[in-house]
């Protein structure tokens, strides 16, 4: 493990691990996908129909990167939406999240990082 005065080699973004793989390090990734419900707090509006909280969801990818014995976690939000949106909007949001996920998968493949593809 790196000492407090040593510069840490690993980062906190997907791009950091892609850069390591391009430098020749062996990087393995695991991806866990989830839809996380949240409450978004908003400022009270001037109209009566604006509430202080809005029910939302996030489509998230939790990445676990392994480089040697080091294990690092990166979380990335691929899309968000509102629970009160029509069903058609939810389907569109899933498609957008999967398209963004596919772009990241292609970047991981180009860097020769091994992983299993999963979609929302």
The pLDDT tens digits of the residues spanning 22-46 come to 999 999 999 999 999 999 877 666 5
Please answer whether residues 3 and 92 qualify as being in contact, where contact means their C-beta atoms are separated by less than 8 angstroms: no
- The answer, yes or no, to whether residue 52 has pLDDT greater than 80, is no
Nearby residues of 45 by Cβ (< 8 Å), 6 or more positions away: none
pTM listed for this prediction = 0.80
CA separation for the pair 99, 84 (Å, rounded): 23
Nearby residues of 26 by Cβ (< 8 Å), 6 or more positions away: 67, 68
The pLDDT tens digits of the residues spanning 56-97 come to 999 999 999 999 999 999 999 999 999 999 989 999 999 999
Report phi then psi at 112, rounded to 5: 65, 40
Q: Look at residue 51 in the predicted model and tell me its pLDDT.
A: 63
């Amino acid at each position: 493990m790196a000492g407090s005065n040593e510069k840490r080699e690993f980062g906190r973004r997907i791009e950091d691990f892609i850069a390591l793989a391009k430098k020749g390090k062996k990087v393995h990734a695991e991806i866990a996908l989830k839809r996380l419900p949240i409450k978004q707090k908003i400022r009270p509006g001037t109209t009566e129909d604006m509430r202080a909280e809005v029910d939302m969801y996030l489509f998230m990818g939790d990445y676990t990167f392994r480089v040697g014995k080091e294990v690092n976690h990166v979380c990335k939000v691929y899309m968000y939406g509102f629970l009160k949106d029509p069903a058609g909007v939810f389907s569109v949001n899933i498609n957008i999240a999967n398209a963004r996920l596919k772009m990241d998968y292609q970047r991981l493949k180009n860097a020769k990082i091994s992983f299993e593809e999963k979609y929302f």
